Amino acid sequence: MTKFLATRRQNILWISALVHRLSGLTLATFLPLHFLALGLAINGETQLEEFLRWTDWPIVKLAESGLVLLLVIHLLGGLRLLVIENFSWRNGQAKLAAAAAGISMIVAIVFLVRVF
Amino acid sequence: MNVRLYLWQRLTAVLMLPLILIHLAVIFYATSKGLKAADILARTRGSIAWASFYGVFVTAAAIHSVIGIRNILIEWSSLSKRGAGLLAIGLGITLLILGVRAVAAVVLP
Amino acid sequence: MLDPQSELSVTLWRGAEDGAYQTYQVPIRENQTILDVVSWVQRNLDPTLSYRFACRVGMCGSCAMTVNGRPRWTCRTHVSKVANDGRLEIGPLENLPIIKDLAADMRSFFEKWQQAKGVFTPSRTRDDTIEAIKPDTPARVAVDEAIECINCGVCYAACDTVRWNPDYLGPAALNRAWSLVNDVRDAGNVERLEAIAADGGCHACHSHQSCEQFCPQTLNPTASISGLKRRATQAYLQGEIKP
């Protein structure tokens, strides 16, 4: 596995495809938990409010920021694919991939700073 | 992945682009003064607008994520194509049910 | 004892799927290619080593092998460019069954070529006038950008979607399909678009661009496949194909 990854890690587009896949997988795993949490409101406000108090913990805020990062990076990676697939070919994919990563990190950091 | 699944996945992706931007804006707004159930529910309870928005979002997300999961299962697991497809459909139905339940939970008065 | 000043440590795959790597010491020469190294082993150390080559000048694609984990034409790969501290690891092309040592079984590569309908279907006979094709039409430009493929298999070996998805037709077959889709003389596009719009067709490509990275002819199968995605989707939406 390490040899496999070592030979591919120089290809930024391969890495961005991996990030796209893993971020999607993580978001897809998070989604049912998100729905279950919101579903607590079915029995009125109190259960949801109790659950939401977990969001005061710094570690939870950090995790939320991570989720924002994953969401934005998955969106931008997907947008890059939509551009490749629907418009005529453009070179410079590596730059777009790097920009996607950069923008996602900025958004996630802004989120983190605001919730603290 | 064939042309049919591809279309469903790419179209739900395009549909979700603006939905996610709005959702991110909501997240930033809702977390700006500490997350409180009362505040969230005050916005969503009895709101047809939020019900429609999140109803569409949940459906699109369920379809989109499950096609992606099917690809991952085909490429990275030892499941057959058929097995991967069935598991993906099962996960999709689960997501849809949980999602609609969540929307109902916050929207129904 | 290996003298690193004058010798390379060359590890070659021996045997079939259940074989193993074996290490040889090969004298360093100026301007040595990987093919030179493999040939030296076969001629001086072990005549039972099996490998393929033909033109040895970068025209035929027969000498493609896996060198330090990536697929290359061994006649066009200089040792100095790829040797890690005087070490080389050479194996047969990946994503293909191994026949023996450094020779891979190319049959599935060519079968997928056929499956993708990568074969010209004429629309005229010898009795009709020759169709005039202007080289600067957008369709012909698209064909010319994709047509120099010589079926060496490097892109197929480089592609991780081929590695992970046994149905995937692969970059070479799809690149050829694209060149035919744009050939105005070809009459087989309904079958071809149906073939590449099915499971394992162009829509399975994740745009890693490993194919483009390693193609020795500097082709861009990812671009061809993106074009196919557009054409196939359009044809499907307009009811022209039912894959």
Backbone angles phi, psi at C98, to 5 degrees: -95, 130
Query: Minimum mean pLDDT among A76-85, B26-35, B63-72, C19-28: which range?
Result: B26-35
Whole-angstrom CA distances from C221 to C54, C57, C217 are 25, 23, 11
Output the pLDDT for position A44.
84
Using the Cβ of C69 and the Cβ atoms of chain A, whether some distance falls under 8 Å is answered with yes
Tell me: pLDDT of B50 over 90.
Answer: yes
Using the beta-carbon criterion (under 8 Å), do A35 and B34 form an inter-chain contact? no
Q: Return the residue of A nearest to B34 by Cα.
A: A115
Q: Using 50, 70 and 90 to split pLDDT, how confident is the model at B32?
A: confident
Tokens of C155: 């892109």
CA angle C146, C150, C155 (to 5 degrees): 75
Interface check for C160 against chain A (CB to CB < 8 A): the answer is yes
pLDDT at res. C184 = 95
Per-residue pLDDT, averaged over A69-84, amounts to 95
Question: Average pLDDT for residues B14-24, to the nearest whole number?
Answer: 96
Name the minimum distance, in Å, from the CA of A98 to any CA of chain B.
20
Per DSSP bridges, beta strands C7-14 and C20-27 are antiparallel
- Determine the pLDDT at residue C85: 87
> Looking at the predicted structure, is the pLDDT value of residue A23 above 80?
yes
In angstroms, rounded to a whole number, what is the distance separating the alpha carbons of residues C132 and C68? 47
**C-contacting chains (≥3 CB pairs under 8 Å):** A, B
φ and ψ at residue C76, rounded to 5 degrees = -110, 15
Domain spans in chain B, listed from the N-terminal domain onward = 3-107
Q: Cα–chain-centroid distance for residue C50?
A: 20
Distance from CA of B102 to the nearest CA of A (A): 4
Mean pLDDT of A47-75: 93
CATH architecture of B3-107: Up-down Bundle (1.20)
- Whether A71 sits inside 8 A of B20 (CB atoms) is yes
* A43 pLDDT tier (thresholds 50, 70, 90): confident
pLDDT of residue A46: 92
Contact C86, C79 (CB under 8 A): no
Place of tokens 């990812």: C222
Question: What is the predicted pLDDT for the residue at B35?
Answer: 85
Interface contact B79, partner C, CB < 8 A: no
Consecutive sets of 10 residues in chain C, 243 residues long: mean pLDDT of each?
Answer: 84 97 95 96 98 96 96 96 91 98 98 97 94 94 96 97 97 98 96 96 96 96 97 96 86
pLDDT at C205: 97
pLDDT of amino acid B52 = 96
Taking residues A43-59, report their average pLDDT.
91
Using an 8 Å CB-CB cutoff, list chain B residues near A107.
24
Positive or negative CA dihedral for C33, C39, C41, C44?
negative
Round to whole Å and give the CA distance between C7 and B52.
72
Determine the pLDDT at residue C176: 98
Model's pTM, two decimal places? 0.94
| Nearest chain B Cα distance for residue C162, angstroms | 9
Find chain C residues with C-beta within 8 A of B3's C-beta. Answer: 197-198, 201, 203, 232-233, 236, 243
A-interface mutation test, from B26, B35, B72, most A Cβ less than 10 A away: B35
Q: Answer whether A26 touches C (CB < 8 Å).
A: no
In the prediction, which pLDDT does B109 show? 82
A115 pLDDT tier (thresholds 50, 70, 90): confident
- Pick from B3, B5, B74: CB nearest C165: B74
Rounded to the nearest 5 degrees, what angle is found at the Cα of B97, between the Cα atoms of B93 and B101? 170
- Candidates C161, C203, C237; nearest CB to B2: C203
Output the six-digit token pair for C149. Answer: 């493929």
Mean pLDDT over B31-51 rounds to: 89
For chain A, say whether C223 makes contact (Cβ under 8 Å).
yes
The count of C-alpha atoms lying within 13 angstroms of the C-alpha of C37, restricted to the half-sphere facing its C-beta, is 35
